[in-house]
Amino acid sequence: MNRSVLIIAGILIVVAGLLVNSAAFIVRQTEQAIVLRFGDPKQVIQEPGLHFKVPFVDDVTYFDSRILDYAPPQEEIIAADQKRLVVDSFARYRIADPLEFYKTVTSELAARARLAGILSASLRRVVGNETLASVLSEERVGIIERIRLDTNEAAAKFGIDVVDVRIRRADLPQANAEAIYQRMKTERDREAKEFRAQGAEIAQRIRARAERERTVLIAESQRQSQVLRGEGDAEAIRIYADAFGRDAEFFSFYRSMEAYRKALKPEGTTMVLSPDSDFFSYFRNQSGLPLTPAE
């Protein structure tokens, strides 16, 4: 009998363990849960800890309570100024209402598909009303905030709270970028040639002005040198004439000495003259006068 009691007690313990194991469940700190009874939501649990359900009847579906990331593929959007932009964006969201989330989208995979359409529509609606310059300027912060508000409003009916939306890149398509680059290069080359032509023109004017000033300075200097040389020659002639007028013999002697100095240079000079030439008159006597027969 004791053995039967032990067997029955063991069976009861096992059944009780199975019942407790089926009835108890744990919601972790990063999770939130919905208790389902035959697929019908009965309880929403957003607090972590140990919880209980009806064993073998209720099921538990878990959802992440953390902020989740979603990065859709790049897409091409036409801005208000008809510029095509390749926009690379991402969103951060959280499941704010697990019950509404379960009723509308059921799973995170389906929620991402819905969020993709909402984010794409918001990007096209907001960015499509802005110019390329606005998207690339400081106005980008306000544009992103409008996209977040628009996306959050549309995602709220699915129990999703869009925390943040960002545009990582907004570039021109590769073909457009190449065309714009070539146009910018052509424009810069044209401006460079224009600046070089203007510089060459200015340089030519400066050189012409400098050459004209140089010619004027040289001509003025030559004129002044000729005037000074003429005045000097005139003064020299006056002095010679005055000296000749005062003492003709001294003037004749001085001129002869000057002639000797210029003609008879230290390097050696060869002259063929008659001995009784007037050029050597001061070699014959101190007065430079012709010799008399008595002398």
Same domain, 92 and 168: yes
Same domain, 111 and 150: yes
Asked which of 146, 172, 198 is the last residue of a domain, the reply is: 172
Q: 103: domain CATH number?
A: 3.30.479.30
Same domain, 155 and 89: yes
**Residue ranges of the chain with per-residue pLDDT less than 70:** 1-3, 5-10, 12, 14-21, 174-180, 247-249, 264-295
Q: Is residue 286 part of a domain?
A: no
Q: Is residue 280 part of a domain?
A: no
Asked which of 48, 64, 80 is the last residue of a domain, the reply is: 64
Give me the pLDDT at residue 273, please. Answer: 63
Give me the pLDDT at residue 97, please. Answer: 92
Note down the domain range covering 60: 18-64
Pairing, β 84-95 against β 68-70? antiparallel
φ/ψ (deg, to 5) at 35: -90, 120
Query: Within 13 Å, how many C-alpha atoms sit on residue 157's CB side?
Result: 6
State both tokens at 74. Answer: 């790049």
Are the beta carbons of 93 and 108 closer than 8 angstroms? no
Q: Is residue 57 part of a domain?
A: yes
Q: Is residue 148 part of a domain?
A: yes
Give me the pLDDT at residue 86, please. Answer: 86
How many structural domains compose the chain?
2
What is the spatial distance between Cα 156 and Cα 69, in angstroms, rounded to a whole number?
17
Q: Is residue 288 part of a domain?
A: no
If we measure between CA atoms, which residue out of 179, 181, 148, 176 comes closest to residue 82? Answer: 176
Q: Let me know how long the chain is.
A: 295
Asked which of 27, 43, 64 is the last residue of a domain, the reply is: 64
Q: Is residue 138 part of a domain?
A: yes
Give me the pLDDT at residue 184, please. Answer: 82
Same domain, 114 and 156: yes
Give me the pLDDT at residue 295, please. Answer: 47
